[in-house]
Homo-oligomer: A and B are copies of this chain.
């Protein structure tokens, strides 16, 4: 399973250490930031799976960070756990209803921290952004719930990557996707690999769905691929 990335925005170094050490021991990739500036810089490079956000910060207020995160379409889907020191602060979190997914009050136990992170990740992971059900196009049918694909009512087995690729195409027939767009959507923002990889998977996909000379998946030279209309 791919490692989950955790961003920690917390100015107290010893708490940073504590969080980093324990989360890393439990299989997470952890990046700590002390200021909002650094934090947003990091965010523009790698999108984390979850953010732990302290309210008290030297340069910015934690609430400001949170509202900025939640109002930005790129980031508003990332679950956030607020770390608060005082009970009053905690009340404010609730009062503001700013969309944090959970909160922890200092002092917290390591077990509590791990539990919350895990729970929030599991909860948000199970909420699919995309609608489920069936997608149909010509003689191609994709059943998302059952993770099955049919051509001419015939079940065809596809690997994960092939399935994801085809799903993207089927959701937008005719729309051209560049290799980088596909990489970003399927492999994730933080994937460091060749864009040639996409080609190979396109080939497997074509092979499996019996796509003689790009009748379904069309190559747009210099651009990328699309579902032929």
Contacts and interface: CB of A to CB of B under 8 A. Distances in A.
A147 B112 contact: no
Interface in A64-97: 87, 91, 94, 97
Interface stretch (A36-44, A103-111, A200-208): A103-111
Nearest to A118: B192
Given A221-B159, A226-B146, A111 B126 contact: no
Contact of A184 (B112, B122, B145, B189): B122
A112 B97 contact: yes
A174 B181 CA distance: 31
A127 interface: yes
A15 interface: no
A176 B126 contact: no
Interface string A113-156: 01100110011011100000000000000000111100000000
8 contacts: A91-B107, A91-B112, A94-B107, A97-B111, A115-B192, A123-B189, A126-B180, A148-B174
